[in-house]
Chains A and B, each alone.
Chain A
Amino acid sequence: MSACTGIFAVSCSREQPKEAMTLQRERQLNQFLAGVERRALRFAEIAVRDRDEALDLVQDAMIKLARNYAGRPEAEWTPLFYRILQNGIRDWYRRQMVRNRVMVWFGRTSEPEDDYDPVAQAPDPMGRTPDEQIESRQAMQKLEQAVTDLPARQREAFMLRTFEGLDVAGTAVAMGCSEGSVKTHYSRAVHTLRDVLGEYWQ
């Protein structure tokens, strides 16, 4: 005998598709987050230059997306997710600035260490020789440093467009600005990076 009989039939028939829709949405979101989480971590890591902080920022972004935007169309998730992550990174920078001011007040500084190397101890999954790994790692370090040195908005535009492959419209949503601003920031970033990295990468 079906559980959905008599007076409960109407409510059950409404609940089951709703439940199924939620499960389907949960699967879609899981798939989306699994696909984006690694790149998002490296994205945040380049911005804040600390893996633990980056992991916290990515987790917060995933939680906020699931809590507030799981019901939105799937096509909107990528720019929304990166917008949340960008906001988290900006908040992180603000906190750092306040912390640094306090440290200066007490006569101490908390400058980031220059010898930061997030992938130094990781084995190479692509089977490259140690020389190739070192070369790639050094090139990435140079790129990271150059990207980190960009003004914040230029850095965001370059990373979203180049690393995440977002188009101008998606980048504008993620950055919370106009498409014209995205083009300007991106163009300036590329110009600076060409100057900084061009000679090194020739």
Chain B
Amino acid sequence: MKKPFDEEELRAKSKSLFDDSVEQLDAATLSRLNQGRQKALQEIDAARPAGQWARWVPAGGLAAAAVVAVVVWQGAPVEHSAPEAGAATDFEILLSEDSLDMLEDLEFYSWMDAANLDSGGDVG
């Protein structure tokens, strides 16, 4: 009767066969493994600066958003206030009584302007 196959024997033989097969890997395969390892090691270098930059991304984003907000907040009233101020002034002039008087004598002022140009400013 055969001796029962011992667990330790199975383990030792399996490991021995596995180790042999590892030793028999060909040069082309070892070269590909080496290439893969070098690629993996580059990940450490690649991950390091990325990690440092990534740490500043939220702060940079907030700073950029703040700058945009300030520009919009300060720039917008300047652009809109100038025409509004000008329009208000024009409206004020148009509504003033003096201006209406001037409009009534528009023909006189037109003549005076023409005379002033012709005589070199000696009118009056």
Task: Show the binding face of A for B, using Cβ within 8 Å.
Answer: 22, 25-26, 29-30, 33-34, 37-39, 41-42, 51, 55, 58-59, 62-63, 65-67, 70, 118-119, 121-126, 136, 139-140, 143, 162-163, 165, 190, 193-194, 197-199, 201-202
Contacts and interface: CB of A to CB of B under 8 A. Distances in A.
Contacts of A59: 36, 39-40
Given A22-B48, A198-B5, A37 B24 contact: no
Contact of B33 (A41, A122, A194): A41
B25 to A, nearest CB: 6
A66 B20 CA distance: 28
Given A122-B25, A194-B10, 17 more contacts: A22-B44, A33-B40, A37-B36, A41-B25, A42-B25, A63-B36, A63-B39, A66-B47, A67-B43, A125-B24, A136-B17, A140-B18, A140-B20, A163-B14, A190-B10, A197-B10, A202-B2
Given A193-B10, A194-B5, A197-B10, A126 B37 contact: no
B5 A37 contact: no
15 contacts: A29-B44, A30-B41, A37-B37, A38-B22, A38-B25, A42-B18, A42-B25, A59-B39, A63-B39, A70-B43, A125-B23, A125-B24, A139-B13, A140-B18, A143-B14
A140 B21 contact: yes
Contact of A201 (B5, B24, B30, B37): B5
Highest count of chain A CB atoms <10 Å: which of B7, B32, B48: B32
B23 A126 contact: yes
Contacts of A63: 36, 39-40, 43
Nearest to A124: B24
A55 B14 contact: no
B22 A139 contact: no
B33 A29 contact: no
Given A70-B44, A143-B14, A163-B15, A119 B21 contact: yes
